[in-house]
Structure 1
Amino acid sequence: MNIQITSRKFRAKDSLKSYITKSLKSLEKLNDQILDVDVILSFTHIKDSIKTVEINAQIPGKLLSVSSSTDDFKKSVIDARNKLERQLRKEKTKKLAKTR
């Protein structure tokens, strides 16, 4: 799995990048066919300090996309990762249903 992290209009700390990488690597247990993962970090409202995380995961034949906005990047990463995990489980269920 290739993970690309992009931060818009700011420089993300290495600790945040390693946290994101570690969190997303655990998704390989659900689906080992994840090809690429693009993570985009941005501020939605600078005054309100709302932080947005978008995750786009490429699997064979599909692009899964999730996003989450909270007041902290780590919370946003956790929320987006959980949404992506649900989508991966759903795809796995569909794939298993087709083979039966």
Structure 2
Amino acid sequence: MNYNIRGENIEVTPALREYVEKKIGKLEKYFNHTPDANVHVNLKVYHDKTSKVEVTIPMPNLVLRAEERKDDMYAAIDTITDKLERQIRKHKTKVNRKFRTNGSTAELFAPVAVEEQAEPVVEEEDHELEIVRNKRFDLKPMDSEEAILQMNLLGHNFFVYTNAETNKTNVVYKRKDGRYGLIEPN
């Protein structure tokens, strides 16, 4: 696994880096091609001395992401590892139910290169319409059920994907009543 560990208001010491790599390295058993898997870790300390850990692991059919805030940085790292492992197990269970006759699901956890790029935006007088971040990613073919699973794993309220049947871009979203909606082009 390739680790990208960043610290905000904290110096990432060799001991802290080693602890992160050791704990998150336990997830390697779930990956098919571990040497190429990218792990993005952001360690942050706030003025009130609370610690926040964010981990993102992009893969072809899934983006594992978790964050945890605690008083102790090491406790946050332990908790976030458990969260990521639960996400992987939950995803594997759902996918296994769907693909029992299609063989191994190991390729679902192969690594992928995700390009994320923040571009500066020309300031306008109306700040309400200002774009402050730009993300680029590959849309993976899937059905709406898998897209909803991805959305929930990421903790977002919408998810853009390519419909595997129609090969068109669709959007699933969480409605205020707790159910889900689907936006399809004509």
RMSD across aligned positions (CA) = 1.5
Listed as ranges, the gaps of 5+ residues in structure 1 are none
Quick one: higher RCO (CA 8 Å, sep 6+), 1 or 2? 1
Residues 54-74 of structure 1: CA deviation (Å, up to 9, x unaligned): 011112222121000111110
Q: Tell whether 2:64 aligns with 1:53.
A: no
Query: 2:42 is paired with a residue of what secondary structure?
Result: strand
Check 1:19–1:12 CA distance in 2 against 1; reply closer, same or farther (3 A cut): same
2:73 matched to 1:95?
A: no
Check the 8 A contact 1:42/1:52 in 2, yes or no: yes
Q: Which runs of 5+ in 2 are unaligned?
A: 101-186
TM-score, structure 1 normalization: 0.88
Residues 28 and 84 of structure 1: CA distance in aligned 2, closer, same or farther (over 3 Å): same
* Residue 22 in structure 1 maps to residue 22 in structure 2: yes
Shift of 1:96: 1.2
Letter in 2 for 1:20: V
Taking the aligned partners of 2:6 and 2:71, their CA distance within structure 1 comes to: 19
Structure 1 position 33, deviation (Å): 5.1
Runs of 4+ in structure 1 off by over 3 angstroms are 31-34
- Residue matched to 2:129: none
Matched, 1:39 2:41: yes
Question: For residues 32-76 of structure 1, what are the alpha-carbon distances to aligned partners after superposition, in whole Å with 9 as ceiling and x for unaligned?
Answer: 356211000001x31x21000001111222212100011111000
2:97 alignment partner, SS class: helix
Deviations 1:7-55 (A, max 9, x none): 0132111101001001111101133356211000001x31x21000001
Could you tell me how far 1:95 is from its partner in structure 2? 2.1
Larger-gyration structure (1/2)? 2
Between Structure 1 and Structure 2, the one with more strand by share is 1
Return the letter of the residue paired with 2:9: K
